[in-house]
Amino acid sequence: WDDMEKIWHYVYDEGLKTLSEEHPVLLTEPPLNPRSNRDTAAQIVFETFNVPALYTSIQAVLSLYASGRTTGIVLDAGDGVSHAVPVYEGFAITNSIQRIDVAGRDITEYLQTLLRKSGYVFHTSAEKEVVRHIKEAVTYVAHDPRKEEKDWAQIKLDQNKVVEYTLPDGNKMKIGAERFRAPEILFDPEIIGLEYPGVHQIVVDSINRTDLDLRKAL
């Protein structure tokens, strides 16, 4: 919490260049965040930063609001954790939330492994950041991964599904089937040896844990 307080000081002093006392705060939190965390955060923003008002909300609920809805199911995949969060009339149904510890970081690490097999080695933390940028720039989710594998087996390196990525040092690399194979672990975590259901399954499981009369709306 000491580190979090330093970050907030930096945000006010260097980022926003404003006085915390003059602005209410909207604080987002992950699903199933312990009450103790919320209480500690509230204590800091009121006692240290003297904010006039604080509102805390789950990230997934706010994402749904941003799409113009108050009811639906949100798949919230972050760096290390993915949640399926059912929301009804603006309230998260907490006892139906599903979670798996597979998310963006795992895709980055698996992409790093796939690229290493293709002869591109990334070792340092800075190089891993390059892999993350590659992931965000060129990977995609296949509608039918089996068909995609067959299609890629027939593609030569000079055809249009292979992309060329320019590294920070100016060198160029060609990226092929790694583009869809890396994110596939979200749907089949066993690819990387993790015994979790895929994100599609936790969405279904989450809906099925809600009351029968809510499922159609979700």
Give the tens place of pLDDT for each residue, 35-91: 999 999 999 999 999 999 999 999 999 999 999 999 999 999 999 999 999 999 999
Region of 197 (left: φ > 0; alpha: ψ -120 to 50; beta: rest) is beta
Q: What is the dihedral of CA 59, 63, 65, 66, to 10 degrees?
A: 130
The first and second tokens of residue 52, run together, are 């006039």
Q: What is the pLDDT of residue 156?
A: 58
The position carrying tokens 């940028």 is 133
| Lookup: tokens for 34 | 């312990």
Confidence (pLDDT) at 37 = 92
SS3 call for 176: coil
- CB–CB of 87/72 below 8 Å? yes
**Residue labelled with tokens 């190089």:** 127
Distance, in Å, from the CA atom of 149 to the CA atom of 113, rounded to the nearest integer, reads 18
Q: Which CATH architecture has domain 104-192?
A: Alpha-Beta Complex (3.90)
- Please state which of the four CATH numbers 3.40.1360, 3.30.1660, 3.30.420, 3.10.450 is assigned to the domain occupying 2-101+197-215: 3.30.420
Do residues 182 and 111 touch, judged by C-beta distance below 8 A?
Answer: yes
The pLDDT of residue 123 is: 81
The domain spans of the chain are: 2-101+197-215, 104-192
Q: Are strands 172-175 and 163-166 parallel, antiparallel or unpaired?
A: antiparallel
The sign one gets for the Cα dihedral 59, 61, 62, 64 is: positive
- Rg of the chain over CA atoms, in angstroms? 21
Residues of the chain with pLDDT under 50: 157-158
- Round to whole Å and give the CA distance between 182 and 217: 32
Quote the pLDDT of residue 31. Answer: 86
C-alpha torsion sign, points 166, 131, 175, 78: negative
